[in-house]
Amino acid sequence: MGSLNNKHVLLGVTGSIAAYKSADLVRQLVDAGAEVQVVMTEAATGFITPLTLQTLSGRPVRQTLVDVEAEAMMGHITLARWADVILVAPAGADFLARLVQGRAEDLLAAVCLAADCPLAVAPAMNQQMWANAATQDNLATLMQRNIHVLGPAEGMQACGETGLGRMMEPLQLVDDLMKLFKTGELAGLRVLVNAGPTREDIDPVRYISNRSSGKMGFAIAQAASEAGATVTLVSGPVSQPTPERVTRMDVYSADEMYQQVMAQVQSNDVFIACAAVADYRPLTIAEEKIKKDHVEIALSLIRNSDIVCAVTALENAPFTLGFAAETWDVENHAQQKMATKSLDMIAANRVGEAGSGFDSDDNALSVYWPGGSVELPLASKTALARTLITHIATRYYEKHSAQNS
């Protein structure tokens, strides 16, 4: 699997003869581990059929902005929030011009305008159209807006002319897309992440646990790795695949997670405590299955060790970010937890709301640190993780700069 593993790639296809390459591009993106959603302009359908791209991507191709069923849920906004990256390939001269103007009269343009994820374009046009001053001015404007321009390549064109304007080959585009996720923000640092739930046995067949899927913690581990860190992930029992270039250690109970984290943490620069660790465990574990012999039974619980407090109490504690899953009064509870546990940062979210938090691919976070905060709106957990890593890197270097000054 490539480094686009689990990434949501929205591929925009515009009207150009180079659209025939989009079929191979979809296949290469899928082979690299990405989930691909194709959005086509009306002109693009004259060069390649939506059915072809739907078959290769495994997802229905989106074409219409005014789609009653999709727009009932603000479909263009949903697509923009779903995407970890948008790649328009091929991107014709007309689309580049409309992108500069902020036009939104078709679905692809509207999605690009509504997105807050990285946006890349792969130009494809006649060599003279490419050289035209208007096109070059548009490209300069797009690059000033941090839109990534991939290509074009030079060579024979469909019109019979030779020069710059060919869309880059799919393999090169996939490689360039991978590089967008390698930020280097944590280059040279060692990061420890814990994730998922723990299980506290009651008897040989029952246990106490929670609804954590581990998705957020695993996304953070992947984002930290993409940012250049050496990452160790201590995970409770989950079914998530191990992120690339991440060392994973599986544990079962809160005590096992405590032991593993404490064994690893002092060799790390950053600790991200994302796991939903059980606060309590049964005082005793029954050796045999407890039978239904009584209408009521009492279960005595004892408190587990607090992993985060143990880490921040260390003499040379790493930069530590904690998580707070709250059902009400999120800000006050998060601020109190940050203070009482001596955290450098805390990421809080309201659980129990449909479409975010536990059992969801999406989340929204309120992030606090002493003297500041930022709201991270609802997005995929992979996109959210990368944004969170950027804030962690900023606060980490600010702290160490202040300590060394």
Q: Would you please indicate which residues are annotated as catalytic (active-site) residues?
A: 159
Output the 3-class SS for the chain: CCCCCCCEEEEEECCCHHHHHHHHHHHHHHHCCCEEEEEECCHHHHCCCHHHHHHHHCCCCECCCCCHHHHCCCHHHHHHHHCCEEEEEEECHHHHHHHHHCCCCCHHHHHHHHCCCCEEEEECCCHHHHHCHHHHHHHHHHHHCCCEECCCEEEECCCCCEEEEECCCHHHHHHHHHHCCCCCCCCCCEEEEEECECCEECCCCCEECCCCCCHHHHHHHHHHHHCCCEEEEEECCCCCCCCCCEEEEECCCHHHHHHHHHHHHHHCCEEEECCECCCEEECCCCCCCCCCCCCCCCCCEEECCCHHHHHHCCCCCCEEEEEEEECCCHHHHHHHHHHHCCCCEEEEEECCCCCCCCCCCEEEEEEEECCEEEEEEEEEHHHHHHHHHHHHHHHHHHHHHHHHC
Q: 267: which 2 tokens?
A: 């060799």
| Residue 101: both structure tokens together | 């103007």
CB–CB of 177/4 below 8 Å?
yes
Q: CB 400: neighbour CB atoms within 10 A?
A: 12
